[in-house]
């Protein structure tokens, strides 16, 4: 049966349920997803003869790149070392995916909702950050940072306080000229067991993301926003420190802020020259229009609540009109 839903503000029609994404009414279909097969227009000879545009530095146990990315006329292909594959048409309006019998639809969905959808958005002209987005009042603040910096853990800590989470892993930068909008992603936060223990006490209090992986997920369905919100601040999560002053917030100068944005753009290694030029121009404007702040967390996970307080208190100073709303959650 067709499965209608919305992901990153795009009306999606899939041929199977997408784990972690509830069905919803959509006004129009902007993206069709077909699970179980690849398009007939791409043949096996194309697969064999084309060299990858990009191969990841990370490898599996046999030394093979975890991801190889191919560019064909009118198509792009994500090929993972576990034999999961996704193909995207040149307009970013159709996606096909298949995986081996040893894996599940849940396994495939982790790729779909992350790298694949990030690239779909890129094809549609939407630059994205590797970040999470929290709703404060009627505005969005982004938590930016490299892999392992604690973006998802911090977002989950905010969710535990009653804040809505607009996006996790991918934050869109919808260009509206004088401001930028963040689209609602999907109602789920993916967490490593150590993060679940730090936040909730035991790692088995949340269900597994897939049967084949030890990552867990936090269901956000009951408090998930459905509309895009204006991006009002970006907080860059810096290296954790043991110093007693942590956590604390400092302003990022425009040059440092721009560099932080550039190094934390989603799918940056898959961009061609034109995409990179558009990205740089847009991020330059983001660095001038959106407050950029550096957050230094404490190394002790028990102090994550203090980190949340620190961010909210700083945002209240940037946006005095929202002080009353933010105070309700702290």
Rama region for 125: left / alpha / beta (φ>0; ψ in -120 to 50; rest)? left
The number of angstroms, rounded, from the C-alpha of 6 to the middle of its chain's C-alpha atoms is 15
Confidence check: pLDDT of 51 > 70:
yes
pLDDT at 270: 86
Confidence check: pLDDT of 156 > 90:
yes
pLDDT at 324: 44
Q: Higher-confidence residue: 43 or 92?
A: 92
What's the pLDDT tens digit per position in 59-113? 988 999 999 999 988 899 999 999 999 999 999 999 999 999 999 999 999 999 9
Determine which of 216-220, 271-275, 285-289 has the lowest per-residue pLDDT on average.
271-275
Q: Are 194 and 151 in contact (CB under 8 A)?
A: no
User: What is the domain partition of the chain in residue ranges?
Assistant: 36-123, 127-327
Average pLDDT over residues 32-48: 79
Scanning the structure block, which residue is given the tokens 């940072």?
145
Average pLDDT over residues 218-246: 94
**CA-to-CA separations, 220 to 69, 213, 316, in angstroms, rounded:** 31, 20, 24
| Maximum pairwise Cα distance, the chain | 62
Confidence check: pLDDT of 52 > 80:
yes
Q: Distance between CA 141 and CA 182 in Å, rounded? A: 9
pLDDT at 46: 63
Is 3.40.50.300 the CATH number for 127-327?
yes
Percent of the chain clearing pLDDT 70 (strictly above): 95
* Structure tokens that stand for 79 in this block: 């090929």
Q: Distance between CA 49 and CA 43 in Å, rounded? A: 10
Average pLDDT over residues 8-36: 94
- Beta strand 127-136 with 216-219 is unpaired
pTM score of the predicted model? 0.91
pLDDT at 320: 76
């Amino acid at each position: 049966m067709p499965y209608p839903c919305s992901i990153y503000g795009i009306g999606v029609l899939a041929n199977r349920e997408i784990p972690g994404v509830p069905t919803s009414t959509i006004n129009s279909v902007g993206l069709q997803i077909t699970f179980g097969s690849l398009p007939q227009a791409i043949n096996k000879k194309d697969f064999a003869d084309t060299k990858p545009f990009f191969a990841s530095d990370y490898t599996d146990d046999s030394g093979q790149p975890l991801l190889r990315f191919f560019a064909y006329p009118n198509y792009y292909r994500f090929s993972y070392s576990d034999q999961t594959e996704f193909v995207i048409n040149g307009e970013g309006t159709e996606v096909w995916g298949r995986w081996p019998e040893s894996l599940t639809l849940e396994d495939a969905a982790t790729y779909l909702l992350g790298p694949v959808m990030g690239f779909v958005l890129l094809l549609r002209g939407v630059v994205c950050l590797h970040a999470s987005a929290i709703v404060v009042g009627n505005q969005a603040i982004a938590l930016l940072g490299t892999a392992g910096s604690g973006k998802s853990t911090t977002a989950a800590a905010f969710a535990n306080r009653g804040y809505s989470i607009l996006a996790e892993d991918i934050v869109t930068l919808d260009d509206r000229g004088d401001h930028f909008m963040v689209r609602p992603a999907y109602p789920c936060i993916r967490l490593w067991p150590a993060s679940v223990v730090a936040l909730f006490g035991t790692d088995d209090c949340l269900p597994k993301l897939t049967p084949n992986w030890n990552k867990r997920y936090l269901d956000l369905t009951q408090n998930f926003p459905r509309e895009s919100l204006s991006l009002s601040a970006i907080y860059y999560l810096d290296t954790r420190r043991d110093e007693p002053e942590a956590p604390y917030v400092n302003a990022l100068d425009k040059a440092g802020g721009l560099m932080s944005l550039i190094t934390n753009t989603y799918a940056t290694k898959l961009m061609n020259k034109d995409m990179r030029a558009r990205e740089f121009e847009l991020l330059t404007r983001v660095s001038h229009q959106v407050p950029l702040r550096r957050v230094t967390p404490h190394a002790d996970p028990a102090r994550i609540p203090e980190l949340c307080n620190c961010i909210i208190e700083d945002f209240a100073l940037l946006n005095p009109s929202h002080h009353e709303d933010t105070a309700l959650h702290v």
